[in-house]
Amino acid sequence: MANKDLDRCLVCDDIAIGVNFGVPTCMPCKAFFRRNAVKLGTHEFICQNDGDCIITYKYRRSCNCCRLAKCFRVGMKKSLILSDEKREARNELIAINRLKRGQISKLECLTWMQSPSLLRMSSSSIQYFSSSDQVLLANIFHAYENTCIVAKNTTLQNLPTVQHTSLHEFVNEMSSEFHVSIEYLKLIPEFNNLIMDDKVRLIKNHIGTIVHINQPLMLPGPPINLVVSW
């Protein structure tokens, strides 16, 4: 297989993240195949276009039937799909090996660390999480404390300003929330492991929701005499 073929997903022609289930694919097609290939025999896939849909990055969600058929046609193998238990064991082994080679910090290792102050869970609740889930939660909470909580007590402490003289001034001030939220994402190791295009898509599609949900936690209530004029 030519090197240039390894750069593109053979299912939808998006940027490939690597070889998955036997062929180069992007992350969405990898996840799609894992979810749907195991449903064959128990779930009916129906095409509204007589099985003649074009599967590209832009239209890959339009028909699950044709997309799954193309996955098999380009060589993806159902036999390579691991069960949840086997995948969990593999991920733990990979993380342990990476830790031994010094490729990841102890923060990412699969030993459950002391919970950050934001993470309040009883031991009875923690037992339902896998080791990797526990690490993921810890990484998320540590990133949040080191960015959003720090900003709340420093750079965002006096927001919003009581009076603005222009819309431009107001937008510039409030944009600091977006910068803090992006820095929060960048501190999550799992986010940094994504390829750049996926990072950009995630931020572009979800940063507004993140800021909206996070705003009541990061900012004090607006002053009664808040005035915006331009």
Residues 24 and 94 in one domain: no
**Which are the contacts of 228, defined by CB distance < 8 A and separation ≥ 6?**
163, 164, 167, 170
Residues 107 and 179 in one domain: no
Q: Last residue of some domain: 30, 64, 80? A: 80
- CA–CA separation, 31 vs 38, rounded Å? 12
The residue among 30, 26, 27, 22 whose CA lies nearest residue 13 is 26
Q: How many domains in the chain?
A: 3
Residues 66 and 153 in one domain: no
Residues 75 and 87 in one domain: no
Residues 18 and 105 in one domain: no
**Helix and strand totals (H; E) in the chain:** 10, 4
Residues 147 and 214 in one domain: yes
Residues 86 and 76 in one domain: no
pLDDT (tens place) for every residue of the chain, 230 residues total: 555 556 899 999 999 988 999 999 998 999 899 999 999 888 899 999 888 899 999 889 899 999 999 999 999 999 998 877 777 777 677 666 666 665 445 444 433 334 444 455 555 565 566 667 777 777 888 888 877 777 777 766 555 555 656 666 666 666 777 788 888 888 888 888 888 888 888 888 888 787 777 766 666 554 444 444 43
Backbone dihedral angles phi then psi of residue 143, each to the nearest 5 degrees: -65, -40
Check residue 110 and give its pLDDT: 39
Residue 91 domain boundaries: 82-111
Written as six digits, the tokens of 27 are: 């992350």
Q: Name the region of 69 (left: φ>0; alpha: ψ -120 to 50; beta: rest).
A: alpha
Check residue 131 and give its pLDDT: 67
Residues 202 and 138 in one domain: yes
**Per-residue three-class SS string for 20-37:** ECCEEECHHHHHHHHHHH
Check residue 136 and give its pLDDT: 77
Check residue 227 and give its pLDDT: 43
Residues 86 and 166 in one domain: no
Residues 183 and 200 in one domain: yes
Residues 137 and 187 in one domain: yes
Residues 120 and 201 in one domain: yes
